[in-house]
Structure 1
Amino acid sequence: MPDTATPRLQLTGITKRYPGCLANDHIDLSIHAGEIHALLGENGAGKSTLMKIIYGVTQPDAGEIRWEGEPVIMRDPAYARDRGIGMVFQHFSLFETLSIAENVALALGADAGTPRQLESKIREVSQRYGMPLEPHRLVHSLSIGERQRVEIVRCLMQDIKLLILDEPTSVLTPQEADDLFVVLRRLAAEGCSVLFISHKLNEVRALCENATVLRGGKVSGECVPAECTDMDLARLMVGDAEGLEAEYPKASGGAPFLRIEALSWRNDDPFGVSLEDLMLEVRAGEIVGIAGVAGNGQDELLALLCGEHRLPREQGPRIRFLESPVAHLPPDTRRRLGMTFVPAERLGHGAVPEMSLADNALLTGFQQEGMVSSGLIRHGRVEAFARRIIDTFAVKAPGTHTTARSLSGGNLQKFILGREILQQPKLLIAAHPTWGVDVGAAAAIHRALIELRDAGTAILVISEDLEELFQISDRIAALSHGRLSSLQSTAHTTATDVGRWMAGQFDHTTPTAA
């Protein structure tokens, strides 16, 4: 075991400024060998900036970094990796046109070994973590959850002394998260330090020995998570924790707005999932939740619902919106009918990274607010719409001309969701609506969804967070290997029931609950 008297990593007075923003304000942080340390804070508190400084992606304006007692300048990620620092980013850093093995080889460099050795090691490590991967698969064919697995496995294959994990369990099931925690505890017992960023406070209390909390770019407190309640931690993060434990009344809904009837779809991708005989109904004024482990058909279902994948015209009735066949229609036509969508992937799918928030607001909101007239963009109305999103959903951004890439993950999520909600849709389909957002932002998103439901909108939420689905959904089902369980009332369903459905243990003949 290494000497734990001297911190493995010690930050003193770390400060980083951006135009119009003091991201880190004289932050002190120490992590010892074998310690699992949590870094907490609401979106925009400065966590990601601090992690990028530790990993060499960004240079601080002031302050000192000591690594194993010696002052260092983390000049770039390669230098950090040479010191034994590995990082799993919240936004994936994978080349989509390369295979899993090729992405891992790029990270390991000369240490990757021969292709056969590397492939064997990927299989062995991924199996040991309970996140099996096939090295030959191309990244673009992977689901969001599977890409997260690649990031984690790629990092853990390195000889690391400090592992930084930014929201590593966002797309993992509770069992997968438990398996990951077993690995992290084993690494810590062997002397590896772990810096763990998560908005799932129950995970932090169960896993982490110490925690540092950021608020507004400053350290607002330190604590031992096991000695705190979730609300104690939430108050350190956001100050006023009122409304974070809201319980919402369940709704029965009205007329069916979305119907899926005997929907089957063959996926030509050998690594994809085909859908088999799906039956689903979403009513006006209700939230339907779809649970499932990543890679069980969620992406394929979303693509068919939003129009990225279309069926032949004669199969249009397989998906009906307001009793009209839509399965053959393109995305823009579906939007004109009153459908809006929040995709699983924020950057590159939900928003164009290099474009401003105003331009990203225009991308899907062009039919609203008279933003386009006679083929011309009315920039003033576009700016006003983007500003309304920012103000209504408390998006932390310097202004509407800020690029999407510059926002924290949680703030970008709030912007994308707000953009779709403010279009007052008849049907909202949202994938992982609170993925990677802090407890305060998650509560705000949940309230917004409930308000939209109560205004009569039909809402379909696809998520791997069972706690979230039970909190906001009126009815719930689960996807497993491209098959969908029957819908049941969440008020009369348990997490054990849904877990069984997620494993494929359900009967299509079970009647749909009212």
Structure 2
Amino acid sequence: MPHSTAMPRLELHAISKRYPGCLANDRIDLCIQAGEIHALLGENGAGKSTLMKIIYGVTQPDSGEIRWQGQRVQVRDPAQARRLGIGMVFQHFSLFETLSVTENIALALGREAGTPTQLAPKIRAVAQRYGMGLEPERLVHSLSIGERQRVEIIRCLMQDIHLLILDEPTSVLTPQEVDELFVTLRALAAEGCSILFISHKLGEVRALCHNATVLRGGRVSGDCVPAACSDLELARLMVGDAEGLEASYPKALGGLVRLRVDDLSWRNDDPFGTSLGNLRLEVRCGEIVGIAGVAGNGQDELLALLSGEVRLPNGERERITLDQQPLANLYPDARRKRGLAFVPADRLGHGAVPDMSLADNALLTSFQQGLLSHGMIRGHKVLALANEIIRRYAVKTPDAQTPARSLSGGNLQKFILGREIMQQPKLLVAAHPTWGVDVGAAAAIHRALIALRDAGAAILVISEDLDELFQISDRIGALCSGRLSPLKATAQTHTVEVGRWMAGQFDSPQDAA
């Protein structure tokens, strides 16, 4: 832990930023010492993203002061931030998949990189120094998500970085990869590099970070030492009312088989996609089955085959059945008529049309719920449905005519989930239901899923968040390279075993135990 009397590496004083109708940052103070791992916490819409962009030069503050190693500075753009020694790894990586590790890093370094032959040994040396196994010659598309993250971090370190900003860095990693990342971050901090760590995973913040600053509604709501706080105490700083945030849900056994996936194989012609091999899966009435896995291991392909965006030929239609009725050859609307509801991974653009109002977005998948009459839209019915979703799921929005793009991620996710649940589906398939969502919205989403399960629906949840899956799932498995592990009762397994499954370490035949 760095000594608190030393000159701070970064100081923010009274930073404010206003957008039309929104005060994103309201006189925020932040101080990070050399060698400190500092967490920035807050629910969706608290102002974290805006503050990160200000530090990294993407956005300019309206008022306030930034001091870098004691000197007042104006960070005009990311290039200047990097010259100062500030690097950032975004939640969505910015790598060219058809280029090698060396070529991607060379693009960032420019002329200073030298030839690939000169650069590759330097990359290998930095990787070894911080315990990040990485081969410079490999093409990015052949790397795991954890390895791609290492490329992003090494790319920053090659630019002599003194402050590294990490945005939700563990959201797509296996537990083993998280452990490896933390070893690297502690080694960086020990050498004096400061780290600003943004995460919703409070247990990880408590394990890694020296100090934390918590934002709520664009203001600093508190500072704390995470190791001295419980998850619930941190959650209270973030959302105020912590009721229901520490819920423990009883496990269910499930009844009759509702969804059956029988020896499903599918070849993906996309060179960067994943083919599926011999998947067997059952989801029963009144249970939640969780499927873990690092992104890019067949989740998107399985979701497309379940939703009907990809259909199998008639001869293979029984590979997927709902209540023993063939499903695999049907279009999405026909599957919805059978009782399937779907929450996609991409909420803005796939789950909702950004420029359309919430009312119109409610109509998109609920049109079979009495919202049409002789081919005409019943506007008052659509508006009533949208308002009911907003009320029942506590969606923060001015009204039902608000465009979907104006909502925070958590509120849009609650709206999409509510829209699907209110159709009273027999089967709900939900992809990453709380990805990037704050603890308050996540708790509300979990309660809604449990209530739907207890009403007798079958639910399949695909997520990269193991903590979430263990909290709400009755049975759990993992996808790796298009293969599905055995399914086990959640109470009879643990995160280490599921982490091994996520890395492909399973030999047992698939079953529905």
TM-score by length of 2: 0.88
Show the counterpart of 2:471: 471
Q: CA deviation at 1:491?
A: 2.5
Distance of 2:281 and 2:370 partners within structure 1: 32
What is the aligned counterpart of 2:132 among 119, 129, 133? 129
> What amino acid maps onto 1:322 in structure 2?
D
Per mean C-alpha deviation after superposition, the further-off stretch among 266-275 and 92-101 is 92-101
Show the counterpart of 2:81: 80
CA contact (8 A) 2:45 2:408 kept: yes
Per mean C-alpha deviation after superposition, the further-off stretch among 285-294 and 3-12 is 3-12
CA contact (8 A) 2:175 2:499 kept: no
Distance of 1:106 and 1:354 partners within structure 2: 35
Q: CA deviation at 1:306?
A: 1.6
CA contact (8 A) 2:145 2:173 kept: no
CA contact (8 A) 1:209 1:225 kept: yes
* Structure 2 residue 439 is the aligned partner of structure 1 residue 439: yes
Superposed CA deviations along residues 244-291 of structure 1, whole A, max 9, x for unmatched, are 221111112222211001111222334433222111111111101112
CA contact (8 A) 2:262 2:320 kept: yes
Show the counterpart of 1:39: 40
> What amino acid maps onto 2:319 in structure 1?
R
Q: What 5-or-longer segments of structure 2 have no aligned partner?
A: none
Distance of 1:256 and 1:122 partners within structure 2: 52
CA contact (8 A) 2:41 2:214 kept: yes
Distance of 1:491 and 1:420 partners within structure 2: 28
Superposed CA deviations along residues 333-375 of structure 1, whole A, max 9, x for unmatched, are 32232212222334443344455544444443444450x5555
Show the counterpart of 1:484: 484
> What amino acid maps onto 1:261 in structure 2?
D
Q: CA deviation at 1:479?
A: 2.1
Show the counterpart of 1:210: 211
Relative to 1, partners in 2 of residues 1:135 and 1:510: Cα closer, same or farther, differing over 3 Å? closer
Show the counterpart of 2:297: 296
Please give the root-mean-square deviation of Cα atoms over the aligned residues, in Å. Answer: 3.3
CA contact (8 A) 2:261 2:321 kept: yes
CA contact (8 A) 1:145 1:294 kept: no
Q: Percent identity?
A: 73
Distance of 2:134 and 2:42 partners within structure 1: 28
Per mean C-alpha deviation after superposition, the further-off stretch among 381-390 and 477-486 is 381-390
Q: CA deviation at 1:59?
A: 2.3
Distance of 1:15 and 1:123 partners within structure 2: 41
Show the counterpart of 1:416: 416
Q: CA deviation at 1:154?
A: 4.8
Q: CA deviation at 1:23?
A: 1.9
Relative to 1, partners in 2 of residues 1:79 and 1:299: Cα closer, same or farther, differing over 3 Å? same
Per mean C-alpha deviation after superposition, the further-off stretch among 24-33 and 146-155 is 146-155
- Residue 205 of structure 2 aligns to a residue whose secondary structure is helix
Relative to 1, partners in 2 of residues 1:390 and 1:119: Cα closer, same or farther, differing over 3 Å? farther
Relative to 1, partners in 2 of residues 1:379 and 1:6: Cα closer, same or farther, differing over 3 Å? farther
> What amino acid maps onto 2:417 in structure 1?
L
Distance of 1:230 and 1:162 partners within structure 2: 26
* Structure 2 residue 255 is the aligned partner of structure 1 residue 254: yes
Q: CA deviation at 1:188?
A: 1.5
TM-score by length of 1: 0.88
Q: CA deviation at 1:54?
A: 1.6
> What amino acid maps onto 1:461 in structure 2?
V
Distance of 1:110 and 1:378 partners within structure 2: 62
CA contact (8 A) 1:54 1:74 kept: yes
Per mean C-alpha deviation after superposition, the further-off stretch among 260-269 and 354-363 is 354-363
Superposed CA deviations along residues 286-325 of structure 1, whole A, max 9, x for unmatched, are 1011123333322222222122322211111101122221
Distance of 1:124 and 1:409 partners within structure 2: 39
Distance of 1:134 and 1:278 partners within structure 2: 33
Distance of 2:238 and 2:29 partners within structure 1: 17
* Structure 2 residue 315 is the aligned partner of structure 1 residue 314: yes
CA contact (8 A) 1:137 1:271 kept: no
CA contact (8 A) 1:130 1:179 kept: no
Superposed CA deviations along residues 51-99 of structure 1, whole A, max 9, x for unmatched, are 1222222222222222222222222323323322222333x26488875
Distance of 1:392 and 1:58 partners within structure 2: 36
Q: What 5-or-longer segments of structure 1 have no aligned partner?
A: none
Distance of 1:162 and 1:190 partners within structure 2: 12
Superposed CA deviations along residues 461-498 of structure 1, whole A, max 9, x for unmatched, are 11232222121111122223322223222223333443
Relative to 1, partners in 2 of residues 1:209 and 1:465: Cα closer, same or farther, differing over 3 Å? same
- Residue 18 of structure 2 aligns to a residue whose secondary structure is strand
Show the counterpart of 2:26: 25
Q: How does 1:18-417 map onto structure 2 within 5 Å?
A: 18-90=19-91, 92=92, 94=94, 107-114=108-115, 128-129=131-132, 136-137=139-140, 154-368=155-369, 370=371, 372-417=372-417
Relative to 1, partners in 2 of residues 1:232 and 1:447: Cα closer, same or farther, differing over 3 Å? same
Distance of 2:26 and 2:181 partners within structure 1: 32
Relative to 1, partners in 2 of residues 1:364 and 1:106: Cα closer, same or farther, differing over 3 Å? farther
CA contact (8 A) 1:342 1:433 kept: yes
Relative to 1, partners in 2 of residues 1:351 and 1:507: Cα closer, same or farther, differing over 3 Å? same
Distance of 2:381 and 2:93 partners within structure 1: 35
CA contact (8 A) 1:100 1:150 kept: no
